[in-house]
């Protein structure tokens, strides 16, 4: 049964929010793992978990649609490579080379890249209200990540990790645009399963190369728990919700909702980790929410 246009649009925003909430939890759970597990190994463990959790449900769809999968390899290989093999692996590598502040600030560019790519490749108009909303939400993110001390921006020092993070945001943006052009013959679960399997296969040579210099070790129990979360939550569930959001409301609108990620990170850090909350969180949250509303007010 097809939902009315207005209900489908609201559902699309809900899907984008759900993906963003789960991804924000990924930052909380994965905090500190950079000292306990190598970056490509973490990515490999994450996608191995996601693939094993999905395959029991996706195998039948993949088998039934095997001809469609083979016919659409020209689309599936790039999306799997960008969304699974490269994007998160680059972020984990960047986390070993730069600060959390730099990573958070550079992530601001991801929605901007998505909006620009959607304009040039999907004919999605860049309106005044959309850009005003982006600027307002970005100001909220900057205020939140600098904890109100915007003078920190003058003291930032950029390195190789920052360039990797910037490239990672561009990779995620291109992936988001490609998902908008998902082959209509593939069901969502077959599409997700094909992306996970292909992306995992292309990740294998990378992790073998890392193991040649950093042999893997048996992780601690809390690391295994974190891997389960980022594998099932931040990979399987969040990617499913994000793909649904893109299909329903388009990449540009979903990208602006993505600006709420640091806001959810702050809320979860307060609830789970007991981190303090100040006026900065309230003001930055208001700016982010208002920016998202203005950019999507239609």
User: Is 1 within the bounds of a domain?
Assistant: no
Residue 4 inside a domain? The answer is: no
Q: Over the chain, what is the mean pLDDT?
A: 84
- Domain hosting 170: range is 9-295
pLDDT in tens, 215-247: 887 778 878 888 888 899 989 999 999 999 999
Q: Is residue 265 part of a domain?
A: yes
The rounded Cα 91 to chain-centroid distance in angstroms is 10
> Is residue 2 situated within a structural domain?
no
- Interhelix angle 39-64/87-95, rounded to 10 degrees, is 170
Q: What 8-state DSSP symbol labels residue 219?
A: P
User: Would 3 be classed as within a structural domain?
Assistant: no
Name the pLDDT band for 205 (thresholds 50, 70, 90). very high
Helix residue spans in 65-155 (DSSP H): 66-71, 73-80, 87-95, 100-106, 109-122, 128-145
Lowest mean pLDDT among 51-55, 251-255, 259-263, 268-272: 268-272
pLDDT above 60 for 2: no
The pLDDT tens digits for 22-48 are 887 776 665 567 678 888 999 999 999
Does residue 40 fall inside a structural domain? yes
Prediction pTM value: 0.86
pLDDT of 1 = 47
How many structural domains comprise the chain? 1
Most confident residue range from 69-78, 260-269, 288-297:
69-78
Return the closest-CA partner of residue 183 out of 75, 61, 65, 83: 75
Instruction: Give me the half-sphere count of Cα atoms (radius 13 Å) on the Cβ side of residue 244.
Output: 21
pLDDT (tens digit per residue) in 269-280: 677 666 666 777
Residue partners of 136: CB distance under 8 A and separation at least 6: 287, 288, 290, 291, 294
Per-residue pLDDT tens over the stretch 156-200: 667 787 888 889 889 999 999 999 999 999 999 999 999 999 999
Candidate from 8-17, 61-70, 146-155 with smallest mean pLDDT: 146-155
What per-residue confidence (pLDDT) applies to 79? 97
In a domain, 28, yes or no: yes
Per-residue confidence at 208, pLDDT binned at 50, 70, 90? very high
- Residue 152 CB-half CA count within 13 A: 13
């Amino acid at each position: 049964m097809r939902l009315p246009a207005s209900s489908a649009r609201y559902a699309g925003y809900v899907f984008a929010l759900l993906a963003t909430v789960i991804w924000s939890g990924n930052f909380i759970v994965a905090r500190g793992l950079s000292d306990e597990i190598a970056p490509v190994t973490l990515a490999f463990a994450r996608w191995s978990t996601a693939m094993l959790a999905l395959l029991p449900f996706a195998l039948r769809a993949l088998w039934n649609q095997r001809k469609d999968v083979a016919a659409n390899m020209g689309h599936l290989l790039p999306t799997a490579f960008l969304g699974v093999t490269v994007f998160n692996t680059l972020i984990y590598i960047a986390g070993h080379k730069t600060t959390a502040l730099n990573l958070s600030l550079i992530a601001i560019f991801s929605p901007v890249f998505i909006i620009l790519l959607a304009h040039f490749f999907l004919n999605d108009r860049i309106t005044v209200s959309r850009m005003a909303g982006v600027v307002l939400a970005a100001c909220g993110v900057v205020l939140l990540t600098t904890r109100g001390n915007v003078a920190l921006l003058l003291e930032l020092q950029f390195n190789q990790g920052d360039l990797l993070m910037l490239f990672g945001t561009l990779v995620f943006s291109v992936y988001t645009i490609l998902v908008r052009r998902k082959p209509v013959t593939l069901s969502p679960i077959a599409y997700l399963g094909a992306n996970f399997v292909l992306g995992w296969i292309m990740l294998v040579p990378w992790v073998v190369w890392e193991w040649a210099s950093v042999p893997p070790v048996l992780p601690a129990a809390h690391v295994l728990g974190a891997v389960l979360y980022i594998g099932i939550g931040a990979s399987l569930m969040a990617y499913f919700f994000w793909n649904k959001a893109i299909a329903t409301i388009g990449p540009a609108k979903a990208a602006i909702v993505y600006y709420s990620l640091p806001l959810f990170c702050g809320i979860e850090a307060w609830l789970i980790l007991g981190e303090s909350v100040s006026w900065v969180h309230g003001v930055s949250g208001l700016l982010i929410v208002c920016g998202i509303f203005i950019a999507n007010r239609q």
